[in-house]
Chain A
């Protein structure tokens, strides 16, 4: 056995059996030697001998993990488990942090009044992120610690080496080991039980002494190409465009339908809107306890619903609207919600919306409700009601948002505002005028 230091099938490097130390013809620099053992047990024994002889840069190659080889070679336990433990803890922390930040801090999600941050409901996801991060760390940690992927290696040049993935038990010693000497190392391996020992040389072409360049190029190209969509998205998010969105899938964004007040030639009046059909009966019977202000069809009390009586704007109040302090308070509340954003709390037209417009360089201001010259002060109550209901110029109508009764409350409050903003000394009760001075 000991004579066959190279196998017959070693044709690619037919001169591998040349006296140790000689370079093969056209061969490159010596990388190391590769020895073959005939069983897992022999490999363990051989590895122990090599280690005991003081070698450090050597490794064993086998088709499956050989029991006991770690001890024989003196392989230290990997720190991978510790790294994974750290990753697991990080995963838990990140999982909890993500949920807290997204559901409780950045956008508090109110679901039925339940607390936005309730740990039991957040455990399942934290659990999964723990495992996910641990798994990714284990997998890629194994790659990194094992220096994978590394599709190039000098031993791949030897045919014998393919046995390492089939039925061979190999031991390779690298030439860079300080104890390495081709003759003595070969002799040691033979003594340690190797059935064959073979030197391994680098490819004479220095360009082939490393991973093929095209692999790096491929990795780089793939990475760059993978970045392109991300870059496009980032660009789209950071830049402005006057073009409408791309509708890759239209969903219900474009429906074959008419919106209010569109034109439509097929109807005789040319409008898409269809009014009430003649004879429509209200579901809201007269005398029902609640006012039928949601019903646009019944407007028998025109003063109440349109602010008109006998074809004229009313100047007083509808019969069912009592000017009470309570109503005034209600009017103030509604005004502050619906009107103040534009007209301002004092009615002078300096709300936050015009302020914003002016900040952006616009010139628009809401109408001053209290200025006698602007016309609102002298406007009849009915017309004021109508403006609130149906809008005026750029102001939209609020009939869909403010119930009729509340609109009249607002009218009342606007009147109070006008009076207070244009008050003279005469408006103050005589006995309190002294306090103003």
Chain B
């Protein structure tokens, strides 16, 4: 760029500059509108009401569990954990797409991520919160969870760091911290926008404090962008490690169906798969509801459909390879486990898993299915169901038919199991709805940065 000859900038594309500024202010206005509109749409209240009801159910279920005991769940001698750990893995998986969108796609310079990154990150945090509930309550004495934090104590003991469950504690808490900071840091410039747009003093002060006094100065942006890149580069190996560690919970054991080396990448792919499905389940309706269709465009939704298809197919390939290796191993226990998975007492769960995870996403090969919002949401909900059942199949079928037939036992959930799962959706949706109303739901600064107008007024290369 040569600055020397540009003495008269006024002659240079002034109309273009004006159009660009209008584009930027319209981005600000349209996105801020979601939080600024005096009253959200009626359906928002309706959804919030339903979510709060479900959240209440969660509170009741957990209170009953804690005051009564783990016996209220359907766990039995064969299945010391079943439903609860399935929920845990499911929710952690949901969280992964958020980090993938915000960090991995950022590193791969996929600009379409900007419109969905913020809400996906929020989804990550809320999903991790939902996930965190289950390991804590499944101990039966949740108030002792702090024993897992290494600290000097009266018992003169330290946690056992060679246990995969301790790895989980570190992985999940690191993940929660990182996601929260990443989310917040991305939000600082947008909170500054909200601060500057707020009319009421209270909002100005609250948004102002959380915006930290951000001025959008070039020197600040320089460090901010470096920090954002580093956080993205750190989140990527982190997100891979988190679900790998979750898979270690199972795969370090010797139980057929749990012990297989593909588990870490297979869990990660499955997590991204389910997470993308959840992002679409949330955002496809939300973009209609809050009139964001020109920012979260059809192209973005299509790109997400493709990633769902790709990860779904990867997961499907992993199913096939697991079966092949079970046969190839020549190990009777392995072979039995996989035949039992397909034809045993939980055949129905296996059937749900394969059809929802492998078959339905194949519809996304067709453009028609990637553009019809109803079909997208339908397939995505099925994928979420399928991914929940994948964890159920892995955990419960393997436990219910372990090495010794005398230890075989069929697991059926009780109503408390089911209420806890359904209730956790209440927590998730409540938080998400509140987020959508009060915080910048789309990264305005990023959308502006990747808009073609961001290059307005520049010399051509």
Do A and B touch (CB < 8 Å)? yes
Across the two chains, which residue of chain A brings its CB closest to B193?
Answer: A165
Interface pair B248/A124, CB less than 8 Å apart = yes
C-alpha spacing A109/B156, complex, angstroms: 12
Q: Which residues from chain A contact B216 at a C-beta distance below 8 Å?
A: 61-64, 164-165
C-alpha spacing A153/B177, complex, angstroms: 30
Q: What per-residue 1/0 map shows which CB atoms of A100-124 lie under 8 Å from chain B?
A: 0011001101010010001001101
| A138 on interface, CB distance cutoff 8 Å | yes
Given A48-B3, A150-B213, A165-B214, 10 other A-B residues pairs in contact with their CB atoms under 8 A: A40-B457, A64-B446, A64-B454, A69-B218, A102-B150, A107-B158, A111-B162, A128-B241, A138-B234, A167-B25
Interface pair B161/A45, CB less than 8 Å apart = no
Show 19 A/B contacts (Cβ-Cβ < 8 Å), sorted by A. Answer: A38-B457, A39-B16, A40-B457, A41-B457, A41-B458, A43-B457, A61-B215, A66-B221, A80-B230, A98-B161, A125-B161, A128-B241, A131-B178, A131-B234, A131-B241, A135-B238, A136-B177, A149-B209, A151-B209
A146 → chain B closest CB, angstroms: 5
Instruction: Scan residues 233-277 of chain B and give those whose CB is less than 8 A from a CB of chain A.
Output: 234-235, 237-238, 241, 245, 248
8 closest Cβ pairs, A-B complex: A41-B457, A39-B457, A193-B9, A41-B458, A102-B158, A39-B17, A167-B24, A149-B212
Interface pair A249/B143, CB less than 8 Å apart = yes
| A152 on interface, CB distance cutoff 8 Å | yes
C-alpha spacing A167/B29, complex, angstroms: 10
Instruction: Scan residues 400-429 of chain A and give those whose CB is less than 8 A from a CB of chain B.
Output: none
C-alpha spacing A129/B150, complex, angstroms: 13
Interface pair A124/B24, CB less than 8 Å apart = no
Across the two chains, which residue of chain B brings its CB closest to A101?
Answer: B158
Interface pair B181/A152, CB less than 8 Å apart = no
Binds A, one of B167-175, B372-380, B407-415, B416-424: B167-175
With contacts A63-B28, A118-B162 taken as known, whether A38 is within 8 angstroms of B14 at the C-beta atoms is yes
Instruction: Scan residues 135-182 of chain B and give those whose CB is less than 8 A from a CB of chain A.
Output: 141, 143, 150, 156-164, 166-167, 170-171, 174, 177-178, 181-182
C-alpha spacing A291/B28, complex, angstroms: 88
B18 → chain A closest CB, angstroms: 7
With contacts A38-B21, A125-B166, A167-B21 taken as known, whether A65 is within 8 angstroms of B224 at the C-beta atoms is yes
C-alpha spacing A145/B178, complex, angstroms: 19
Number of interface residues of B (CB under 8 A): 86
Interface pair A132/B196, CB less than 8 Å apart = no
Across the two chains, which residue of chain A brings its CB closest to B164?
Answer: A124
Interface pair A251/B141, CB less than 8 Å apart = yes
C-alpha spacing A62/B215, complex, angstroms: 8
| A75 on interface, CB distance cutoff 8 Å | yes
Residue from the set A128, A134, A150, A249 with the largest chain B CB neighbour count within 10 Å: A128
Interface pair B218/A66, CB less than 8 Å apart = yes
- Residues of B whose CB lies within 8 Å of any CB of A are 1, 3, 6-10, 12-14, 16-18, 20-22, 24-25, 28, 141, 143, 150, 156-164, 166-167, 170-171, 174, 177-178, 181-182, 185, 189, 192-193, 195-197, 208-209, 211-227, 230-231, 234-235, 237-238, 241, 245, 248, 444-446, 448-449, 454-459
C-alpha spacing A136/B185, complex, angstroms: 12
B428 → chain A closest CB, angstroms: 24
Interface pair A39/B24, CB less than 8 Å apart = no
Interface pair A62/B218, CB less than 8 Å apart = yes
Q: Which residues from chain B contact A61 at a C-beta distance below 8 Å?
A: 215-218
- Residues of A whose CB lies within 8 Å of any CB of B are 1-2, 37-49, 52, 59-70, 72-73, 75, 77-78, 80-81, 84, 98-99, 102-103, 106-107, 109, 111, 114, 118, 121-122, 124-125, 127-129, 131-132, 134-136, 138-139, 141-143, 145-146, 148-153, 155, 161-162, 164-168, 191-193, 195, 248-249, 251
Across the interface, A128 reaches (CB within 8 A) one of B22, B171, B221, B458, namely B171
B431 → chain A closest CB, angstroms: 22
Interface pair A138/B158, CB less than 8 Å apart = no
B198 → chain A closest CB, angstroms: 10
Interface pair A138/B217, CB less than 8 Å apart = no
Interface pair A44/B1, CB less than 8 Å apart = yes
Q: Which residues from chain B contact A46 at a C-beta distance below 8 Å?
A: 9
Interface pair A70/B218, CB less than 8 Å apart = yes
Interface pair A41/B217, CB less than 8 Å apart = no
B1 → chain A closest CB, angstroms: 6
Across the two chains, which residue of chain A brings its CB closest to B16?
Answer: A39
B83 → chain A closest CB, angstroms: 25
Interface pair B18/A135, CB less than 8 Å apart = no
A244 → chain B closest CB, angstroms: 14
Across the two chains, which residue of chain B brings its CB closest to A140?
Answer: B181
Task: Tell me if A's interface is mostly helix, strand, loop or mixed.
Answer: helix
Interface pair B234/A134, CB less than 8 Å apart = yes
Q: Which residues from chain B contact A192 at a C-beta distance below 8 Å?
A: 9
C-alpha spacing A42/B211, complex, angstroms: 27
Across the two chains, which residue of chain A brings its CB closest to B190?
Answer: A165
With contacts A75-B218, A103-B161, A127-B241 taken as known, whether A67 is within 8 angstroms of B174 at the C-beta atoms is no
Interface pair B21/A39, CB less than 8 Å apart = yes
With contacts A80-B230, A128-B174 taken as known, whether A99 is within 8 angstroms of B161 at the C-beta atoms is yes
Q: Which residues from chain B contact A60 at a C-beta distance below 8 Å?
A: 217-218
Interface pair B455/A41, CB less than 8 Å apart = yes
Interface pair B445/A78, CB less than 8 Å apart = no
Across the interface, A44 reaches (CB within 8 A) one of B157, B215, B458, namely B458
B100 → chain A closest CB, angstroms: 16
Interface pair A155/B215, CB less than 8 Å apart = yes
Across the two chains, which residue of chain B brings its CB closest to A104?
Answer: B161
Interface pair A121/B457, CB less than 8 Å apart = no
B226 → chain A closest CB, angstroms: 5
Interface pair A166/B193, CB less than 8 Å apart = yes
C-alpha spacing A42/B17, complex, angstroms: 9
With contacts A122-B162, A151-B212 taken as known, whether A135 is within 8 angstroms of B3 at the C-beta atoms is no
C-alpha spacing A196/B226, complex, angstroms: 31
C-alpha spacing A39/B455, complex, angstroms: 8
A267 → chain B closest CB, angstroms: 31
Interface pair A145/B223, CB less than 8 Å apart = yes
Interface pair A78/B223, CB less than 8 Å apart = yes
C-alpha spacing A344/B446, complex, angstroms: 79
Interface pair A72/B3, CB less than 8 Å apart = yes
A191 → chain B closest CB, angstroms: 7
Interface pair B234/A121, CB less than 8 Å apart = no
Interface pair A143/B212, CB less than 8 Å apart = yes
C-alpha spacing A232/B196, complex, angstroms: 42
With contacts A81-B226, A125-B170 taken as known, whether A138 is within 8 angstroms of B449 at the C-beta atoms is no
Q: Which residues from chain B contact A84 at a C-beta distance below 8 Å?
A: 230
Interface pair B25/A166, CB less than 8 Å apart = yes
C-alpha spacing A39/B452, complex, angstroms: 12
B160 → chain A closest CB, angstroms: 5
Interface pair B167/A124, CB less than 8 Å apart = yes
Interface pair A165/B230, CB less than 8 Å apart = no
Across the two chains, which residue of chain A brings its CB closest to B17?
Answer: A39
C-alpha spacing A201/B192, complex, angstroms: 22
Interface pair A40/B213, CB less than 8 Å apart = no
C-alpha spacing A122/B458, complex, angstroms: 53
Across the interface, B213 reaches (CB within 8 A) one of A107, A125, A152, namely A152
Interface pair B156/A107, CB less than 8 Å apart = yes
Residue from the set B160, B219, B231 with the largest chain A CB neighbour count within 10 Å: B219
Across the two chains, which residue of chain B brings its CB closest to A38?
Answer: B17
Q: Which residues from chain A contact B454 at a C-beta distance below 8 Å?
A: 40, 64, 66-67
Interface pair A111/B160, CB less than 8 Å apart = yes
Across the two chains, which residue of chain A brings its CB closest to B167?
Answer: A124
Interface pair B227/A139, CB less than 8 Å apart = yes
With contacts A63-B445, A134-B234 taken as known, whether A45 is within 8 angstroms of B218 at the C-beta atoms is no
Q: Which residues from chain B contact A42 at a C-beta distance below 8 Å?
A: 9, 12, 17, 457
Q: Which residues from chain A contact B219 at a C-beta distance below 8 Å?
A: 59, 73, 75, 146
B188 → chain A closest CB, angstroms: 8
C-alpha spacing A166/B446, complex, angstroms: 12
C-alpha spacing A224/B271, complex, angstroms: 42
Interface pair A146/B220, CB less than 8 Å apart = yes
Interface pair A128/B170, CB less than 8 Å apart = yes
Across the interface, B238 reaches (CB within 8 A) one of A2, A131, A136, namely A131
Interface pair B161/A121, CB less than 8 Å apart = yes
